Amino acid sequence: MRILITGGAGFLGSALANTLITKNHEVLVLDDLSAGDPNRLSPEVLFHRSTITDRPKLWTLLQGVECVYHLAARVVVAESILYPREYNDVNVSGTVALLEAMRDVGIPRLIFASSGAVYGDQAEQPIAETTQPNPLSPYAVSKLAAEHYIHTIGALWGTTTIALRIFNAYGPGQPLLPSHSPVIPRFLSQALGGGSLVIFGNGQQTRDFVYVSDVVRALVTALTTDNVDHCTINIGSGTEVSIKELADEILAQTHASSNTLYSPVGSGGVSRLRADLTLARKVLGYQPEVALKEGLRRVLEEDPRYR
């Protein structure tokens, strides 16, 4: 197939693009490089630098495309609290602009990367797709709004739409941001740099960490699976790990002598998060293959920053 990936130079997008190339698809990537890096991409990937709201560019790139993976988004929760309008412009208005361009060109299928963040705090775990979302940040609100847009407009315009709610993805190449970095690259950097591992909150809050290759496998499967129109599906590991347990495992694997410090300044986020994978197994035949211990070992082995 001829496939377009928006946000395809990012952490997840580049892993997806490089995998699709190995399956003999023709892959085009659109990315504004606000967080992406084209050097992550295989030479066979056709890269174009542009914003998701550049409609003439979208129309040009969409010619002959059979499926769009929509990963372009602003994704830092803390940043979204400071700049909600920017998150709405990119994550919501950008999605609508893409949908309009797809309608004009006649693209039949859209696969959208949503987030487990839409659930917020939930008393019952694991969290199924039937659970009422409780978004707690503008980022989460924007992802949920984009879900509604793709499914509603897709139904009106005859586009097959699939939303995958991806939980805490990690793997080699995950960016270490100057502030509010994802917890795994932050802990690895702190441990290997001889610093203290800083845990926000009490460390008992849990997350569902899913290895990048498992996420990519789900995304690739959604490309050709039938009977998934207007489906919203959780993609995670199905395993609940506390931040304290994560810190202990990273210290064990890095053989670091770092201390663990608890900071009351930053929020620890939601108290628990674990994906119910029943629908993913039924619809996509999805089964996570990489447990956290093995995933961390692969990150340490494959990511040159940690060697």
Q: What is the pLDDT of residue 307?
A: 85
Confidence of residue 180 (pLDDT cuts 50, 70, 90): confident
pLDDT category at 251 given cuts 50, 70, 90 is very high
Residue-range definition of the domain harbouring residue 25: 2-170+209-238+274-289
The total of structural domains in the chain comes to 2
Q: Both 256 and 280 in a single domain? A: no
Residue spans of alpha helices (H) in the chain: 11-22, 55-61, 77-82, 84-87, 94-105, 138-157, 183-192, 212-224, 243-254, 278-284, 292-302
3 state SS of 216 = helix
CA Rg value for the chain: 19
Tokens at 44, concatenated: 């066979």
pLDDT for the residue 124: 95
Query: The tokens of 126 are what?
Result: 């694991």
Burial category of 125 from C-beta neighbours within 10 Å (exposed 0-12, middle 13-18, buried 19 and up): middle
Tokens of 189: 């950097």
What stretch of H or E contains 262?
Answer: strand 260-263
Residues 63 and 193 in one domain: no
247-274 mean pLDDT:
89
Q: How far apart (Å, rounded) are the C-alpha atoms in residues 9 and 38?
A: 5
Q: How many whole angstroms separate alpha carbon 142 and alpha carbon 288?
A: 27
User: So what's the pLDDT on residue 267?
Assistant: 66
As given in the structure block, the two tokens for residue 283 are: 């619809």
- Clarify whether residues 13 and 144 are in a common domain: yes
What pLDDT score was predicted for residue 99?
A: 97
Do 214 and 192 have their domain in common?
Answer: no
The CATH number for 108's domain is 3.40.50.720
Residue 175 lies in a domain: no
Mean pLDDT in residue range 239-263: 95
The contacts of residue 257 (CB under 8 Å, 6+ apart) are 194
Nearest Cα to Cα of residue 202 among 254, 269, 249, 259: 269
Sheet holding 26-31, edge to edge: 46-49, 26-31, 2-6, 67-70, 109-115, 160-166, 231-235
Give a yes or no: residue 50 inside a domain: yes
The reply to whether 119 and 259 lie within a common domain is no
* Statement to judge: residues 87 and 113 lie in one domain: yes
Task: Using CA atoms of 138, 268, 178, 46 in order, give the dihedral in degrees to the nearest 10.
Answer: -60
What pLDDT is recorded for position 146? 98
**Closest CA relative to residue 105, chosen from 153, 152, 155, 55:** 55
- pLDDT above 70: residue 266: no
Residue 224: Cβ within 10 Å count: 10
With the CA atoms of 142, 148, 154 and 160 taken in that order, what torsion angle do they form, in degrees rounded to the nearest 10? 90
Q: What is the mean pLDDT of residues 237-260?
A: 96
Pairing, β 241-242 against β 206-207: antiparallel
**Can you tell me the mean pLDDT for 59-79?**
96
Whether 50 and 154 map to the same domain: the answer is yes
Q: Which residue has the tokens 């897709």?
A: 154
Amino acid at 245: E
pLDDT at 273 over 70: yes
Percentage, residues of the chain above pLDDT 70: 99
Q: Is the pLDDT of residue 183 over 70?
A: yes
Domain identity same for 29 and 113: yes
Is residue 142 domain-shared with residue 191, that is, in the same domain?
no
Mean pLDDT value across the chain = 95
105 φ, ψ (degrees, to nearest 5): -90, -25
DSSP category for residue 38: G
pLDDT tops 70 at residue 268:
no
The mean pLDDT value for 69-74 works out to 98
Provide the 10 A C-beta neighbour count for residue 81.
Answer: 13
Q: What is the pLDDT of residues 95-124, one digit of tens each?
A: 999 999 999 999 999 999 999 999 999 999
Active site residues: 139
